[in-house]
Chain A
């Protein structure tokens, strides 16, 4: 099956700093989503981005499908950005279920 690898596994930033999170996947995908898991466990949708570039406020994402990676950019980080960021993919053989990476744990210090 498809493999999803996220890097780095842990990231500590000072408030105001910028960061880039990476997601590599081992095969073609029909769906790629980025999520932020808050301290209470809920997965918050950030981007649905199987290809191309999107921006939402301080966050943006780019997926280069031909090279099988996606990047999540966080600019001017805030303490509320802390949590775990997951990349998840789905492909034709997965019947729509998402395959998750292990996540990047982000800690933003004041």
Chain B
């Protein structure tokens, strides 16, 4: 059984640029959620994808967007990067989008915006 994998592990971008982060869900899981974790804080929900559709969104601006592919893998895109976007981005997969589904996380992508 393959766990959740994310790429890249580290990334440095310049303010104003765009970035794409990738996530492969755990085998058999059809739902992917993305979280942003600032230093010293708990992860904050960005959005969730289920059956290739956005299925819920946290308090993040539209320049945060995503995709889910037929194999359930997902991308997180951030446009017009700001310094405050520097954070650890975590992807989680689950079987189903309901509240009682257990979530499993990848190792994260650490994004630094300079």
* CB-nearest residue of chain B to A97: B45
Inter-chain contacts of A45 with B (CB < 8 A):
102, 104-105
Q: Is B86's CB within 8 Å of the partner chain A?
A: no
Q: B42 near A96 (CB under 8 angstroms)? A: no
Q: B42 near A43 (CB under 8 angstroms)? A: no
Interface size on B, residues (CB 8 A): 31
1/0 per residue, CB under 8 A from A, across B24-68: the answer is 000000010101010001111100100000011010000000000
Q: B102 near A31 (CB under 8 angstroms)? A: yes
User: Do A92 and B108 contact each other (CB < 8 Å), given the known contacts A97-B33, A99-B45, A102-B42?
Assistant: no
Interface size on A, residues (CB 8 A): 27
Q: B33 near A103 (CB under 8 angstroms)? A: no
1/0 per residue, CB under 8 A from A, across B82-114: the answer is 000000101010101111111111111010000
> Measuring CB to CB, which residues of chain B are less than 8 angstroms from any residue of chain A?
31, 33, 35, 37, 41-45, 48, 55-56, 58, 88, 90, 92, 94, 96-108, 110
